[in-house]
Structure formats: structure tokens, C-alpha cells
Amino acid sequence: MNRLGRSGVEVGPLGFGAAGIGNLYTPMDDEQAYEAVRAAWERGIRYFDTAPHYGLGLSERRLGAALRAHDRAAYTVSTKVGRRLEPADGTGDDLANGFAVPADHRRVWDFSADGVRRTLEASLDRLGLDRVDVVYLHDPDDHAEQAFREGYPALEKLRSEGVVGAIGAGMNQTEMLTRFVRDTDVDVVLCAGRYTLLDQSAAAELLPEAAARGVAVVIGGAFNSGLLADPTPESTYNYTRAPEELLDRALRMKAVAGRHGITLRAAALAYCAAHPAVASVLAGARSAAEVHDCAEQFATPVPAAFWRELRDTGLLPPEEPS
């Protein structure tokens, strides 16, 4: 287990990303979601990450229901604030935001102190919990002033009150996360898609700063939304159709992996976990089979010769992996 900064919160090296069980892209039933969480538990995963954004609260409700049978002290849950949910009387679905759920709520960007508390209270209600272990400011890209001026101090107060154990920010970029590491007292940052086999931008400043300051890093998006899981012309990269150049790189990496007797998925997960600043890698899964596969790939040793070949052929920078 790895500690998140100076907090007492610990996470395992592999975590469960719960966006999928919020009906990401396509619907699933409650039983399939339950089986995915149960499979994670069976594989020893004890860190679960969710958010109100994921399926307009559906992910939180399903995750809470699936974990209800387990001792609360035995697992770690993180959720997020910044998108407050309000009831809506609109019709249709939420597919424009990526989730196959009815559009019965709307998201309101709100990083105010009051908004942070209200959002967290609603999350606790959906989860059926009296506390969560970690709270992240969720995607404050276009709301930096309010996030730093109001949202972060609100989280700091919740931490000092013992309402949450660890606080941080979760984003798909590195610049603002680096600012959080340098300018605040966060315990952890969640960096999605910016430290992968195809994108090493977090290695420039974020990861070294976090390591130097004792801030933990959780990595999401190890497969860059699908391309590194199974590269095909239909694969997605950052949730859109993968550019031809990146598809070619991913296919070349897959070929190298095959020559060394491993899968590209195993290499992608191992790469994310290798940096000393990284406390956990979140694997998003929609089914028990996907969970079992991720756990097996994560446990697969990746030979040093594989990394050497990637560097020698220019598929990874000369200094990567660390």
C-alpha cells in the first residue's frame, strides 16, 4: 500500500476507475456493474475512484451498493467536486457528455466553498457512506480562479475537520496540476492520460515536482481511452478517433510487445506504475472480465529488453521509463 502524501490514506498500486459503471458510452445493468466491482475485490483491489459526473451520479450509486457488504475500514474511496448535479426536467439522454443515462440532472460548474460542501454531501448520500477518503477538485481547467480561491480552501477545511482524509485535484492536463503541487498543500493529484506510452508530458514537471514535495500521483487513462488497450483504426485516443500517426505508433509498440511475449496492455500499465511518484494506477473497467484482465496484465513482468527496444527505435524517449 502507498500513502497519499502526508495523509493517513493509503491506496494499492492498482485501483478501480468507476466511470465505466456509470454507463460510459453504452448502458449496462446493475448486475454487470456489481460483478465488475466484485471482481475487483476478488483481485485484491481496494481503491475505488468515482465522481458525480460519471453517469449523473449512477457510478456513485452503483459503487456504494456494491461495496456495502464490505468492512468500511477495508477500502479507500475517492470522489470529486466541481460539477454539482441539479434536477432537470429535460428529456433525452446524456450521451453528449459520454454517458448512456437519462438526462434527469444537469451539471453545474461550482468550485465555491458552499458548492464543494453541497456536492460532497450529495455524493455521500448516493454512495451510502458517512465519509470518503479522498476528494479531488474535478477538471477546474476553466475555473482556476474559483478553484484556487474557494474550492481548494474548502477542501483544506474539510480535511482539517476530519471529514475527508486526503485532498487533491484531478485533471487531463499537467500545467495546473503542477501549480496545485507547488502552491497548495494537496496530498495527491490525479493525472489522466498525460503519463502513458504515447504521452509523457507529465514527466517534464509534474512528476518531478510531486516526488520532490512528497505529493502522491494517481494515474488515470493508462490506455489513453482505448488506443493502448487494442489499437485498431476504430480505436479512440483521448475519447475521439485516434490520429493515424498515434495509431501507427501504438501498432508498432504492440508488435514489440508481442516479440517480447507480453501484451501492449501489460506494458501500458507497467509504464504508468514505474515512476516513483506514482502511488496508484486506475484501471477503468465495465465488466468482471475486463477487471480480471487488467489485474492479470498489471501483474505481468515486463522484460527490460522491451523497454530498451522502445528506446532504441524511438518509440519512447531515451530516458524513459525511469
Residues 6 or more apart in contact with residue 168 via CB below 8 angstroms: 4, 134, 135, 136, 137, 180, 186, 187, 188, 189, 190, 215
For 279, the grid coordinates are 502511488
C-alpha 206/C-alpha 76 separation (Å) is: 24
C-alpha 190/C-alpha 220 separation (Å) is: 7
Which of 25, 47, 54, 271 is flagged as catalytic? Answer: 54
Backbone angles phi, psi at 252, to 5 degrees: -65, -40
Write out the E strands in 197-253: 216-220, 236-237, 240-241
Residue 220 bridge partners (DSSP): 192
To the query of whether residue 54 is one of the catalytic residues in this protein, the response is yes
Cell 489522466 belongs to residue: 192
Please name the residue ranges forming H helices in 165-235: 175-183, 206-213
Distance of CA 87 to the CA centre of its chain: 26
Q: Could you list the active site residues?
A: 54
